[in-house]
Amino acid sequence: MNRIAVLLAAVSAAALISTTADAKTVRWSAPTDIATLDPFAQTESFTTAMLHHVFDPLVRRGRTMQLEPALATSWKAVKPDTWRFELRKGVKFHNGNAFTADDVVASVTRLLDPGARARGNLSQVIRAEKVDDFTVDLVTKGPYPLLLNDLAGIYIMDKEWMEQTGSLKPGNIATGVSTAASTTAIGTGPFKLESFKPDAGTNMVVNPDWWDKPQHNITRIEFKPIKSDATRVAALLSGELDLIAPAPLQDLARIGANSSFKVIEEPSLRLIFLGLSQRDELKSMPGQKNPLKDLKVRQALWQGIDLDAIQKRVMRGKSQNTGTLVAPPVPGYDKANDTLPGYNADKAKALLTEAGYPNGFKLGLNCPNDRYINDEAICVAVAAMWSRIGVQTDVKTESRATYFPKQDRGEFDSFMLGWATLPPMDGFSVLSALLTAPKDGFGGSNPMGYTNPEIERLTREAAVELDEPKRRAMMVQALKVAKDTIAYIPLHLQPVAWASRQGLDVPQFPDEYVRLWFAQVK
Amino acid sequence: MLRLLLARLGQAALVMLAVSAVSFGMFRFVGDPVAALSRENATIAEKAELREQLGLDRPVVVQFAGFLSRIVRGDFGISFRNQRPVATLIAERLPATLELVLVATLLSLALGIPLGVLCALKPDRVAARLVQAVSLIGISTPTFVTGIVLILTFAVTLGLLPSFGRGETVQIGPWSTGLLTLSGLKALILPSITLALYQLTLIMRLVRSELIDVLSSDYIRFARARGLSARHIHFTLALRNALMPVITVTGLQIGSLIAFAIVTETVFQWPGMGLLFIQAVSFSDVPVMAAYLLFVGLLFVVINTAVDLLYALVDPRLRVRA
């Protein structure tokens, strides 16, 4: 008996010690794993967010998403196409090497290599030039207002390490080259990479020599990807995890009801909308004029959607309805643009009659079923609502793997798309990719034939406008035209929902990045 | 014997060619990696360039020929998504899957055979009837349901076992094993039960029916007439013969366990090949998917060929016929 008591005491003491030692560890989980540790070999925002713990960019997003100095302390445009950056002194990489202008030049050169997957993230930069050890010039193709936005996602790697490991050039699938940078990461960031096991876990420890004053008190991060939603929630509830991001919407109520856990949620930047074909004819009505080219029909389709019902039933009250194409935190957003026509089925029917379709018409609606939150359910609801105003909607949903290639080829009559304006986090991304005709590097995701001369002009002007207020005014104006002509039907801002144990404070950001260097463990 | 061997190997090669053609052909329709890999703001030129880099702009026949010639040279290519050699990715994942399958197989044999014997020898006992009834559940419940129920019971409610992952692993050369640490062993319990359940019921029912069959045959009756002990008759004479088909089925089932561990691996985030494949599917990572399918195809071919050849060795009658 006595011996058992001693044993129990020893065990509980050990448990106590281990909990205090582990107290500053954050164990968190997401549905996907990071694709690679090579920041320039991928374009996924999740991987980019994760790698931000290890790497620093020249400028970064701060606590309120503002752009602030990181490895660069100041910058100015010395010529319309040349920006000069003063670099931070005394910064060390995790391997002890000093950070200098050479590292910036080598990193930018590596990113601009034709084999770099992420090259498009810095597409307007031609080259980086070293001025002295702590000054660098970046030369752009022309005046380019979004350089800082782009740089916030460009991480600086160590030149000497890249030389030693033969990874000065990025991995390339075409030539079959894969580099050491895919499996190791040496940065200047707040955490050091300890181990990386794909699909099993990535561990990081705090970098005590970080150049910035830490606002976190974490000593260790254990990231464990869990693909299955049910398992991820179970692992949080069983105490094996401290944070799950994202948390599945259907489980939020259950997690929130447990006093040991909390749910944090806010609208994200990702805006879900419906695209409407502007081609001469629809797939569903071959040989006839495309009714969607008539503004009245588009108005009818918008007014025929009961957004509140979708918000309440399908999204369980977690989404935020919107009437414009960018989220409030994004430059280009204007409150005056963000108005809703309001659900009115009778009005919608009247509009259809006015447009010459008193008996409606046939329309295909295509949606992914594994890309956005409740994407399939939203489309099924929209199809039912449209059918109610007389538009016989044939809804088809499929996996994103087959959906997006078709969307890219413009094969749909109407379709669902989500846009978060990331990584630049600027309304220009909507204008240049979704609202302009596919030429001159514009219209990359607009195969549906929507064009408007005023938007074309404003987009081209905004692309080179360095005066920020003027540039924003142009974007606001262009987005107003897009709204007035109903280029797309905006639905809502998708929610970001995370769940964590009580005692862990992780601020949420609308770009859905988990930034643990702002986290506090109690 | 040599002719048989050559004939079997020839058949195997044909099957593999068919598998590779089917898997390659399938990927033409499962999606376009370019859409999955390019960034949201990608311009049309950017996408075209990526398509060219991936070699997707060339005619299908040329792509397939290139694919085959690389496979023959043992080059499985580089993963589109994480840009690492596919062979390395598979080699990294193989130990996790094999350990899971091994434990699941042992578990199903260790439980399935005694339970089957019990049901055959004492069919009227309550225990035997209970086992029979429960085995119906085991054979009809989908794996993901079993997995989640086990997680909710043993991880969430009781807090005894981990709900996901492999626990701590020890690296022995290229092999990472979870069999040598306590957390690794604990992590194995739930997934291996989930994976073994179907196999277990299958073996149990097979042992039962075979044993009942054998027990009613002449030599058993004569053995009884000779007055041999029931124990000797049941376990030495009858069970041995009843186990022959069990060995065959177990061998063949190992192949399907490896191939169909996908669901179990997804539910338990078991970092094996099934999980690798699932991730590859959602990103249209063609090289990984192709290599995985080829691997599974090869596995079945090898197991089947080996079983055929073993049969021929064991049973001279088959040798003559072949």
DSSP β-bridge partners for residue A397 = A367
**Phi and psi for B146 in degrees, rounded to 5?**
-55, -45
HSE of A252, CA atoms in CB hemisphere, 13 A: 18
| Alpha-carbon separation of residue B23 from A238, B19, B278, B286, B296 (angstroms) | 40, 6, 15, 10, 11
Q: Does B95 touch chain A (CB under 8 A)?
A: no
Q: Identify the burial level of B145 via C-beta atoms within 10 angstroms of its C-beta, where 0-12 means exposed, 13-18 middle and 19 or more buried.
A: exposed
pLDDT at residue number B28: 64
Q: What pLDDT is recorded for position A20?
A: 44
- pLDDT given for residue B27 in this prediction: 66
Mean pLDDT for the stretch of residues B107-135:
89
Taking residues B131-143, report their average pLDDT: 84
| Per-residue exposure over B59-81, b if at least 16 CB sit within 10 Å of its own CB, e if not | eeeebeeebeeebeeeebbbbbb
Confidence bin at A14 (pLDDT 50/70/90): very low
Q: Hey, is the C-beta of B159 within 8 angstroms of any chain A C-beta?
A: yes
What pLDDT is recorded for position B206? 92
Chain B contacts in chain A segment 426-465 (CB below 8 A): 429, 432-433, 438, 441-445
- Tokens representing A155 are 């991480």
Please compute the mean of the pLDDT values over residues B179-194 and round it to a whole number: 94
Please state the pTM of the whole predicted model: 0.86
The pLDDT score that the predictor gives to residue A115 is 82
Tell me whether residues A227 and B163 touch, CB distance under 8 A: no
Mean pLDDT of A167-192: 88
Smallest CA-to-CA distance from A461 within A69, A133, A40, A143 is with: A143
CB B261 within 8 A of CB B97: yes
Nearest by CB to residue B81, choosing from A35, A230, A424, is A35
Q: Find the mean pLDDT for residues A25-39.
A: 93
Q: What is the pLDDT of residues B208-227, one digit of tens each?
A: 999 999 888 898 889 889 98
A240 part of contact set with chain B, CB < 8 Å: yes
pLDDT at residue B187 in the model: 95
Q: Residue B1 — pLDDT band, cuts 50, 70, 90?
A: low
What's the CA gap between B8 and A281, in Å, rounded? 57
A43 to B35: CB separation less than 8 angstroms, yes or no: no
Chain A positions touching B39 (Cβ under 8 A) are 43, 118, 120-121, 423
User: Considering CB atoms only, which of B39, B82, B89 is closest to A43?
Assistant: B39
Task: Give the pLDDT confidence of B262-289 residue by residue, as tens digits.
Answer: 999 999 999 999 999 988 887 878 888 8
Percentage, residues of chain B above pLDDT 90: 31
What amino acid occupies position B288? Answer: V
Q: What is the 3-state secondary structure (H, E, C) of A370-413?
A: CCCCCHHHHHHHHHHHHHHCCCEEEEEEECHHHHHHHHHCCCCC
Using pLDDT thresholds of 50, 70 and 90, give the confidence band for residue A8.
Answer: very low
Place of tokens 């996901």: B164
Contacting residues of A for B292, CB less than 8 Å apart: none
Residue B127 or A243, more confident = A243
Q: Give the residue from B53, B164, B168, B190 with the most A CB atoms within 10 Å of its CB, the best one to mutate.
A: B164
Q: Nearest chain B residue to A434 by CA: give it.
A: B41
Could you tell me which residues are beta bridge partners of residue A196? A202
The lowest-confidence range among A57-71, A450-464, B60-74 is B60-74
Interface of B with A in 188-207 (CB under 8 A): none
Q: Average pLDDT of chain B? A: 86
Rounded to a whole number, what is the distance in Å from the CA of B296 to chain A's nearest CA? Answer: 20
Q: Look at A56-60, A96-100, A423-427, B188-192 and tell me which has the smallest mean pLDDT.
A: A423-427
State how far the Cα of A274 lies from the Cα of A298, in Å rounded to an integer: 11
CB atoms within 10 A of CB A104: 26
What SS3 class is residue A80?
Answer: coil
Q: What is the pLDDT of residue B322?
A: 43
Higher confidence at residue B4 or residue A333? Answer: A333
Average pLDDT, chain A: 91
What ipTM score was computed for the predicted complex, to two decimals?
Answer: 0.85
